[in-house]
């Protein structure tokens, strides 16, 4: 856009436009200025910020309301507060660092500053029955896996909620729900994605089992850009799910499933061998035992290795 157009649209002087452009550059924006043509933003800054996320965000509703914080205890907790106060569907809480990142069942999520994407989204899927809420986790996993595929990263989804590169975890999804009787009030879906970690950035407790995009590819990724790709794909997959149901998501999910068709040990009423054959409509894991009998596993302990 030309400096003249900018000054007219914003009702500011040409020199004010120039000053603002310099401010943008100082904040890390890469701006190209071509004589007689104008300014063009080529790259957004590395560091997460509300402006840099909004710039070029191609979603209809996901992230329309966006809360960015440099440091929080957990974006999940903050998103619950916003949701209780009536936050709209698609509200996103994102942070550069979490000091008390949460996993499932009171486990923790290692969320070091500036190396990963730590965010929670408020969803209000009023047409979805509470018993099917777990399907949302699988929708998010498929969306994340699709984006990773676009980036050329060979990921698999480990049931129910982890993304793996090889045998190491690079992302986790936490779904929490507030419901009354047969109506979902809201769902908070939290995504943690290890992006620019070097191995030394992981805490000693997770180091052995964790990986990041950077550890895998040696490349550095712009967190703002990556977030926008994920937000867009999540919105697309969520709408597909609401419109067409779980079936298409289920088959995509199965295409990514970690150890699909392999024999695993199940620890539920004793220990037995089972072959992973897919997932059920309700998100349960479908396995077949050595006698050929099918079983659905909900929270059974699966010994993956």
Which residues belong to the annotated binding site for biotin?
98, 169
Pairing label, strands 162-165, 271-279: unpaired
The H or E element containing residue 182 is none
What SS3 class is residue 232?
Answer: helix
Of 17 and 188, CB closest to ligand BTX: 188
Distance in angstroms (rounded) separating the CA atoms of residues 38 and 16: 15
Min separation Cβ 69 and ligand BTX, Å = 12
User: Which part of the chain contacts ligand BTX (CB under 6 A), choosing from 55-63, 73-81, 269-277, 286-294?
Assistant: 73-81
Min separation Cβ 276 and ligand BTX, Å = 18
Which residues does the annotation place in the binding site? 98, 169
Show the binding pattern over residues 116-145: x = contacts ligand BTX (CB under 6 A), - = does not. --xxx-------------------------
Closest CA to 90 of 60, 61, 66: 61
Min separation Cβ 210 and ligand BTX, Å = 3
Of 3 and 283, CB closest to ligand BTX: 283
Min separation Cβ 127 and ligand BTX, Å = 25
Of 74 and 224, CB closest to ligand BTX: 74
Task: Give yes or no for residue 98 binding ligand BTX (CB under 6 A).
Answer: yes
Of 16 and 206, CB closest to ligand BTX: 206
Distant-in-sequence, close-in-space partners of 202: CB < 8 Å, separation ≥ 6 = 110, 112, 194, 210
Q: Specify the long-range contacts of residues 162-171, CB closer than 8 Å, at least 24 apart.
A: 162/258, 163/193, 164/258, 165/211, 165/216, 166/211, 167/305, 168/209, 168/210, 168/211, 169/194, 169/206, 169/209, 169/210, 169/211, 170/194, 170/210, 170/211, 170/212, 170/213, 170/216, 171/144
Show the binding pattern over residues 163-182: x = contacts ligand BTX (CB under 6 A), - = does not. ------x--xxx--------
Of 128 and 144, CB closest to ligand BTX: 144
Return the residue of 54, 69, 104, 259 that touches ligand BTX, per CB under 6 A.
104
Distance in angstroms (rounded) separating the CA atoms of residues 56 and 65: 15
Report whether the peptide linkage leading into residue 90 is cis, meaning its omega lies within 30 degrees of zero.
no
Min separation Cβ 121 and ligand BTX, Å = 10
Of 110 and 233, CB closest to ligand BTX: 110
Task: Give yes or no for residue 161 binding ligand BTX (CB under 6 A).
Answer: yes
7 backbone dihedrals φ, ψ, rounded to 5°: -70, -35
User: Which part of the chain contacts ligand BTX (CB under 6 A), choosing from 4-12, 27-35, 58-66, 107-115?
Assistant: 107-115
What SS3 class is residue 104?
Answer: coil
Residues that bind ligand BTX (CB under 6 A): 74-76, 98, 101-104, 107-111, 118-120, 161-162, 169, 172-174, 190-192, 194, 206, 209-210
């Amino acid at each position: 856009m030309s400096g003249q157009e900018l000054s007219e649209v914003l009702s500011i002087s040409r020199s004010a436009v120039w000053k603002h452009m310099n401010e943008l550059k100082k904040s890390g924006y890469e701006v190209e200025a071509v004589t007689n043509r104008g300014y063009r933003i080529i790259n957004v800054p590395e560091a997460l910020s509300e402006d840099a996320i909004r710039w070029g965000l191609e979603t209809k509703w996901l992230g329309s309301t966006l809360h960015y914080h440099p440091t929080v205890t957990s974006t999940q907790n903050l998103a619950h507060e916003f949701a209780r106060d009536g936050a709209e569907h698609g509200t996103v809480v994102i942070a550069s660092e979490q000091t008390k990142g949460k996993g499932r069942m009171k486990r923790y999520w290692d969320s070091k500053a500036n190396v990963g994407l730590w965010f929670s989204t408020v969803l209000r899927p009023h047409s979805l029955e509470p018993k099917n809420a777990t399907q949302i986790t699988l929708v998010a996993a498929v969306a994340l896996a699709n984006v990773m595929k676009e980036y050329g990263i060979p990921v698999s989804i480990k049931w129910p909620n982890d993304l793996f590169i090889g045998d190491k975890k690079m992302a986790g999804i936490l779904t929490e729900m507030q419901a009354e009787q047969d109506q979902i009030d809201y769902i908070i879906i939290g995504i943690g994605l290890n992006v620019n970690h070097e191995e030394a950035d992981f805490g000693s407790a997770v180091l052995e089992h964790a990986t990041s995009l950077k550890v895998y590819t040696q490349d550095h990724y712009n967190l703002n850009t990556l977030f926008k790709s994920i937000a867009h794909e999540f919105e697309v997959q969520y709408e597909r799910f609401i419109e067409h149901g779980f079936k298409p998501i289920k088959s995509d999910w199965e295409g990514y499933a970690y150890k699909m068709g392999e024999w695993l040990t199940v620890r539920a009423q004793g220990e037995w061998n089972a072959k992973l054959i897919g997932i059920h409509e309700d998100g349960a894991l479908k396995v077949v035992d050595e006698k050929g009998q099918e079983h659905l596993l909900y929270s059974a302990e699966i010994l993956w290795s």
